A and B are shown apart, each in its own frame.
Chain A
């Protein structure tokens, strides 16, 4: 290399480029003087980079050219081509819609997770209203910016065709909403009320303006507003009559999706129960336990269930056992350990496999 360099007065970079050209079989006969001269001319005029790649391009270009040619040369008069033009449009519009729905669903998932985190901060607070109010505002925003567009996308379509696209978001939302309502009235929200939240009047922008401030305001005035209806976004939506239906768009919730959301919600219950102990709230865990037992036994009683739900049933049983352990420890050792230390007992219990739970299954609860 050094010898060549001296001989030809080329820079190292130029030499390297020539070598590359040789490797790409651009120059026959290896590094001899004729080739070097040729290549150095190329290198100096700045073309070598391109030439170095050219062999590759040569392989691609005929194929590409042929394809382009084919697209252009398509015989538009042929019946086959005309039919496929129609199919093209149909497929494109379906794929585009699917893509938009996936995007909305992902946004809903993210926002729902945030709401859940917000709600978890309720644990141990005397006055939950601030947190609930914050969550409510997030819900409002979610309806306005995500669910309403989603409902419009699904309007006039077979929702089951796109279910796979929006089911993750929907489940996460159901999880958030059931959690919210649980904190509100210690009960499980039924599917009809979830549906009523996701039913929107067709002309939405107008009613959004009116609805939002009044609801937030009413929630700020204490106690009387714990009335359920005030928390639902659209009070009239729950009892749809057929005539009313046409003026509404909705995001449909298949019962199985709702139930999967409820299954996820029990994971949140478990977390809340553990957190409550940390916040010296010793009553909540046993309350939570009641509901979890009801849900657990119901899930175990289901027959003909889809596979997805069966998996969640297993996770649910584990969460339940964990809370049961927590309540047990609380009873047995509660008197001897100060409450602020108790939470350490539970958190460490979670990370150790002392309760015979494989570690990876715990991760499922927390993701």
Chain B
């Protein structure tokens, strides 16, 4: 029975170590999510008609916060034992998804294109590939992008309210392109799939805005720009 006692003692040590590590991770993730919220508050201002023109300065403000994000991620990365990313990844999944969305939103507002996985990883201060260390999980990146589409479909409507009639067209085309991209993926019946199922409503919302504008002759570009 000596050996049994040792087995259980070892296991208790393992449990304690696991618990302590998770506590540490939690505290870092809390800070990370706090920073994400701060960035989000800044970027929410883009929906206000008065801010429609100075989106760039809002982006710059938000970008400044990402240095803090990179710090948090690097301290997180030091805590994770090699090859055990997925043992703890549930802790930071949501934070990462939100930050992917925010950084992709900034890229879109500035350059009207999709932020690649590589540059998103760079903005967040993490790697792209699992082999290289602390990375963005592909699922999290895609979830972030899907969150971006809802935000953009909302922006399309608010842009109209603010009197900007060209933005909805661009957004609609962009979301249409993302939609055909996501259609290429063979998704399992998981959370990503569920979120993807919601993408069609974003597409629809944008198309409706474009339709409303077109039918009233508020658009002066050629009609085939209608995205889908």
Contact = CB atoms under 8 A, between A and B. Distances in A.
Interface of A: 67, 70-71, 74-75, 78-81, 83-85, 87-88, 90-92, 94-95, 158-161, 163, 187-188, 190-191, 254-256, 258-259, 290-291, 294-295, 298-299, 301-305
B187 A91 contact: yes
Contacts of A67: 183
A83 to B, nearest CB: 6
Nearest to B113: A79
Nearest to B13: A255
Given A190-B3, A303-B12, A158 B117 contact: no
Contacts of A305: 15
Contacts of A259: 11
B130 interface: yes
8 closest A-B pairs by CB: A84-B181, A298-B8, A160-B86, A161-B86, A160-B87, A304-B19, A188-B4, A255-B14
Nearest to A71: B183
B185 A302 contact: no
Contacts of B130: 158
Interface in B117-153: 117, 130, 138, 142
A142 to B, nearest CB: 23
Interface in B11-26: 11-12, 14-16, 18-19
Given A190-B6, A294-B5, A298-B8, A74 B186 contact: no
Contacts of A298: 4-5, 8
A116 B185 CA distance: 42
A145 B84 CA distance: 27
Contact of B16 (A87, A88, A290, A304): A304
Given A158-B84, A158-B85, A160-B85, A74 B180 contact: yes
B1 A83 contact: no
B188 interface: yes
Q: Tell me what chain B mostly uses at the interface: helix, strand, loop, or mixed.
A: helix
Contacts of A78: 177
Contacts of A254: 87
Nearest to A298: B8
Given A79-B113, A91-B187, A158-B86, A291 B181 contact: no
18 contacts: A78-B177, A80-B181, A83-B116, A84-B182, A91-B185, A159-B83, A160-B84, A160-B87, A187-B3, A188-B4, A190-B3, A256-B14, A256-B18, A295-B4, A298-B4, A298-B8, A302-B11, A304-B18
Nearest to B178: A80
A188 B84 CA distance: 28
Given A87-B138, A304-B18, A255 B86 contact: no
Contacts of A83: 114, 116-117, 181
A196 to B, nearest CB: 15
A181 to B, nearest CB: 11
B64 interface: no
B73 to A, nearest CB: 18
A90 B188 CA distance: 13
B215 interface: no
Contacts of A70: 180, 183
A289 to B, nearest CB: 12
Interface string B82-124: 0111110000000000000000000000000110110000000
A163 B188 CA distance: 17
B186 A79 contact: no
A41 to B, nearest CB: 41
A298 B114 CA distance: 54
B12 A302 contact: yes
B191 to A, nearest CB: 13
Contacts of A91: 138, 185-187
A95 B4 contact: no
A80 B4 contact: no
A74 B182 CA distance: 11
Given A81-B180, A259-B11, A88 B85 contact: no
Contacts of A161: 85-86
Given A81-B180, A88-B185, A158-B84, A303 B4 contact: no
